[in-house]
Amino acid sequence: MAKAIHSMIRVIDEARAVDFYGKAFDLAVAERLDFETFTLVYLSNGESDFELELTINKGRQEPYAPGDGYGHFAVSVADLDKEHARLSALGLEPGKIVDFHREGALLARFFFITDPDGYKIEVLQRHGRFR
- Alpha carbon of residue 9 to chain centroid: 10
Can you give the pLDDT at residue 16?
97
Residue type, 87: L
Domains and CATH numbers, the chain: 1-59 (3.10.180.10), 71-131 (3.30.720.110)
pLDDT in tens, 41-84: 999 999 999 999 999 999 999 999 888 778 898 999 999 999 99
CB neighbourhood size of 113 (10 A): 22
DSSP designation for 130: B
Q: What is the number of residues in the chain? A: 131
Decide if 5 contacts 51 (C-beta within 8 A): yes
Q: Report the percent of the chain where pLDDT is more than 70.
A: 99
Instruction: Please spell the DSSP secondary structure of 65-90, one letter per residue.
Output: --TTT---EEEEES-HHHHHHHHHHT
Distance CA 115, CA 108 (A): 22
**What is the arithmetic mean of pLDDT over 86-113?**
95
Euclidean distance between CA atoms 84 and 75, whole angstroms: 13
Please report the pLDDT score of residue 2 as a whole number.
Answer: 65
pLDDT at 9: 95
From residue 82, alpha-carbon distances to 42, 79, 99, 116 in Å are 27, 5, 15, 22
